[in-house]
Structure 1
Amino acid sequence: DYFPRCSIDDPNLNNCLLKAFNTVRPYVKKGVEEIGILPFEPLVLPTFNLSQENLAVNYTLTAWNFTIRGIDNYNVKEINYNPQTLTFSAKMKFDALPFYSMYEVSGRLLHIPLEGKGFVSTTFLGPINATIRIEGELVEVDGVEYYNTTNIKVTEIIKDMEITVEGLFEGDEELGRITNHLLNLFSAEIMQAVTPALEQLAEEMLMRFMKSFTGSIPIEGKGFLSAAFLEPINTTIRIQGELVEVDGVEYYNTTNIKVTESIKDMEITIEGLFEGDEKLGKLHTAEELEKSDYKAKDTNSETEGSDQDEDEAKYEN
């Protein structure tokens, strides 16, 4: 009810997925409690840890009540799905992403020492470009196949940021002012250095979303069929067997089964017929066929009525 269905055999699958991403935007923003999708506007993370140790940066950060806005305001520029490898890839673009959080940090960014605990407000400046690759597998639950995400790789291009950090160096105002000045002066270089950690955080966030999103939506093949065999249904079953002895104990071994069924009628609905042609799909009774503009053309003049070869029936408009 929430999301459009896309058949993996649809030749226009990528266009369907692109439409689906735009359709889910309001649900991404507000969340869908019934299927476990949390609101993304704003997106609030109770707590997380980030750490890096290399020549450019060396720090440990703990954040809580992390709140970021604007994630729902995305633009999907390209999306592709490979049904053979079950792999999605997408190119997305975001405007500026502001966020704020409580934090505790120890270490350095470039040559700038950081030590403190307090409040941080940051804006990643747009445009922000992201490439996302999602790998998965099909799992069956109660006879229905679902897409299970197994790996996510995110690549981000964030060119610059604006940042204000409170509570540095036990509240030393002068050191705090100088540090904030340096953080913004070298913001582009810092942004480049910490991007790998942000990509990892994005992968964890996206994995949580994909687990709730795809875990609630069945994967469809070439179409969807629902049918009901109408009562009464009479069945005769004939089972033949033989006795076999195992360790001195005789067992009944079934050798043949014959089932005869009497099903007089049914009701059926099929989606995805004739590559999605809605008009042809509706012609499911002889009466509707006669009323339509479509005519059955007999390609064999010697064949008529119920003996007509269905493979030779042609529909013309």
Structure 2
Amino acid sequence: MYLLIKSILIFCVFFTISDAVIHDLPSYFPRCKRYDPKLSECLLKATETVKPYLIKGVPELGVPAIEPYVIPEITLEQGTQALNFKALLKNVVVKGLGSYKFSQFDFDVPNLQWFCKATIDNMDLTGDYTVTGKILLAPIEGKGKFVAGIANSNITAFQKVEFVKKRGKDYVRPVNTTTTIEVGGPKVHLDGLFDGNEELNRVTNTVINDNVNELFEDLKPVIQQIITNIVEQWLFRALEDNVPFDKLYPRVLTQAVYYPRCYRDDPDLNQCLLNATEQVRPFLQKGVPELNVPPISPFYVPEVNLQLGTEFISYKSSLTNVIVTGLDTYKFTKFDFDVKKLLFTGAVTMGKINIKGNYSIKGKILTVPIEGKGQLDTTVVSSNGSLVQQAKLVTKKGKIYLESEKTKIYIDVGEVKSKMDGLFDGNEVLAKAADNVIKENLQDIIEEVKPAIEEVFTQIMEGILFKSVYRIPYDKLYPLHNQKS
């Protein structure tokens, strides 16, 4: 079982470093790109593509053959009520690792986390052993040959890493590694127990196999910790010392990586742009560090200041540490680009959006004073929006770029549910009265504050999304057909 987890984790690690030595990487190894929306699918396919090469070994990458897989020595030690022993395994030969099948292989790039899930069928292990101790209160002692078999195994491996700077480049090193294993149909036979006493040897083997599932559960935490320590050391050496992160998963700053190529002289340009809004969703969800685009769900806003003075509502309000979830529920029904006028127009519907953060407010709603600070929790069940942007062309360092000249976002909000803790320093009577006024007049309040909300969204879109996308030259963002790249 030790060997099983070690092998699976080596597979996980191996595919994460397959781009590390790209100048020496064999041509038959797949290349998986960092911001490919199908990165997990690419990695999953890679585990099958490289299987025949892993079975034989890849000497140029220092990867030994996995069929059979040989480990010189393993030390096991356990001290519980069921198991209290020390064992040394040598010259261990594992057969069957080539039957591995990954069902999941994910790399969360923004959070620098890997997660692998795999199964292995029908593994056989043979080797030499020495053991001394107790199993289920019965003594066990001897040395000789062992044979073990596992009908099926389910393994998961998770690892979190962090950046470390070396020689002016970013490398990664492990922060936390965890593994789990579940096995079915394990069997073990030890020859040579008790100096060859056949009866004691038979009885002990019978006790072990009659209780093998329970014994393995008792031993599993030890095995998993051994594997975790080995893999962390192996990863630390392989990744931090040898592989810059930009080679591990290459940084590709090209429009084609995250955005479909839509030609500005294409008669179906608008349909292409509409399709693009769906295709870029996975990137927007996780963020695009290359363009300084943060994740949109959750979307973090450090501070928003609102102020309004009308006959109906008069207030000053500040929101801080705002977390917005649900922005990735967007669905564009229109996204048009008038190339001659450099004018963008769009229409979008949104699903449920939740807004949480700290607030402070002082003012009046109708004739009722409102004051307080605390936690805000608002849910917008549905909404519709439209976008109008007038762009212009500017020249920077000999290249032409788009730049926003004027942007306006319009919002129509459906059902809204809102809760504000801390009004009037916790005075429940005043807080309830203010809350009732807000609920009874919520739609009117929304109409009054809508211009301020629209302005905030406009600033966010201009300052983050458009400004980031417009870092790509115009002829690459919206090229002409037959244009030389």
- In the other structure, the counterpart of 1:289 is none
Q: CA deviation at 1:213?
A: 6.4
2:133 aligned residue (107, 110, 115): 107
Query: Does 2:44 correspond to 1:62?
Result: no
Percent of pairs identical after alignment? 26
Query: Match of 1:39, as an amino acid?
Result: A
Is 2:74 the partner of 1:48? Answer: yes
Q: Which amino acid aligns with 1:156?
A: I
Is the contact between residue 59 and residue 107 of structure 1 (CA under 8 Å) also seen in structure 2?
A: yes
Task: Name the CA distance, whole Å, in 2 between partners of 1:35 and 1:216.
Answer: 13
Within 5 A, what are the aligned runs for 1:275-286?
Answer: 275=257
Deviation digits for residues 28-50 of structure 1 (CA, Å, limit 9, x no counterpart) = 32222223222222221111211
Amino acid at match of 1:28: L
Q: 2:109 and 2:169 mapped to 1: Cα distance? A: 17
Q: Does 1:15 align with 2:41?
A: yes
Identify, as 1 or 2, the structure richer in helix.
2
Structure 1 residues 117-126 or 32-41, which shifts more?
32-41
Q: Deviations over 1:40-63 (max 9, x none)?
A: 222211112110111221110111
Mapping for residues 1-317 of structure 1, pairs under 5 Å? 1-2=25-26, 3-126=29-152, 128-139=153-164, 145-204=170-229, 206-207=231-232, 210=235, 214=239, 215=242, 218-223=247-252, 273-275=255-257, 299=340, 309-311=400-402, 314-315=478-479
Change (3 A) 1:55 1:97: same
Cα offsets for 1:154-209 (capped at 9, x unmatched) = 10011331111011001111111111122122222222222223323433554466
Q: May I ask how many residue pairs the two structures share in their alignment? A: 260
> CA-to-partner distance for each residue in 1:132-174, whole Å, 9 max, x for gaps?
0122234556665444445421100113311110110011111
CA distance in 2, matches of 1:308, 1:49: 63
AA of the residue aligned to 2:201? G
Separation in structure 2 between the aligned mates of residue 22 and residue 146 of structure 1, nearest angstrom: 27
SS at match of 1:90: strand
Deviates most, 31-40 or 196-205: 196-205
Root-mean-square deviation (Å): 3.7
CA gap 1:140/1:180 in 2 versus in 1, 3 angstroms: same
Distance of aligned partners of 1:84 and 1:92 in 2 relative to their CA distance in 1, 3 Å threshold: same
1:215-261, Cα deviation, whole Å (9 max, x unpaired):
5582234417xxxxxxxxxxxxxxxxxxxxxxxxxxxxxxxxxxxxx
1:115 shift after superposition? 0.3
State the TM-score, normalized to the length of structure 2. Answer: 0.46
Deviation at 1:273, TM superposition (A): 4.4
**Deviation at residue 69 of structure 1 after TM alignment:** 1.7
- 1:101-139 C-alpha deviation (Å, 9 max, x unpaired): 10110112223421001110001221x111101222345
Distance 1:50 1:124 in 2: 18
Q: Return the structure number with greater relative CO, CA threshold 8 A, min gap 6.
A: 1
Conserved in 2, the CA contact under 8 Å of 1:294 and 1:315?
Answer: no
Query: How far apart are 1:74 and its partner, in Å?
Result: 1.2
Partner amino acid, structure 1, of 2:249: E
1:95/1:125 contact within 8 Å kept: yes
- Letter aligned with residue 130 of structure 1: I
Q: Is the 8 A contact 1:147 1:219 kept in 2?
A: no
Distance 1:185 1:146 in 2: 48
Give the secondary-structure state (helix, strand or coil) at the position aligned to 1:95. strand
**Partner AA of 1:94 in structure 2:** I
Distance 1:143 1:277, change over 3 A: same
Partner Cα separation in structure 1 for residue 234 and residue 70 of structure 2:
13
Verify the 8 A CA contact 2:147 2:190 in the aligned structure 1. yes
1:102 & 1:7 partners in 2: Cα distance?
44
Alpha-carbon distance in structure 1 between the residues aligned to 2:401 and 2:111: 35
The aligned amino acid for 1:89 is F
